[in-house]
Amino acid sequence: MAEKIEQELGPVSQDACQICYEEKSEKDFFKPYCGHKYCIDCYREHLRQLIITSKVLNIRCCQVDCE
């Protein structure tokens, strides 16, 4: 998805969330151990969805192919 957005709009900033692509200040980001970068709001929603769908034992990074 990021590749498609970059093709249409140009490169995604390094200071942008990798989910919503909004640029935010450094304090507004959560960085899991894998090194991906998500804003706290997006990661909170990711966790909320995992809890709602009873997948709390399988919490992973938001990136599909990230272990």
Q: What share of the chain is helix, strand, coil (3-state, %, to 5)?
A: 40, 10, 50
| pLDDT higher than 70, residue 4 | no
Q: Which helix (H) or strand (E) holds 38?
A: strand 38-39
pLDDT value of position 48: 92
Asked if residues 15 and 2 have their Cβ atoms less than 8 Å apart, the reply is: no
Give the domain 2-58 fold: Herpes Virus-1 (3.30.40)
Query: Tokens representing 32?
Result: 């899991």
The domains of the chain are located at: 2-58
Question: What's the mean pLDDT in 29-53?
Answer: 88
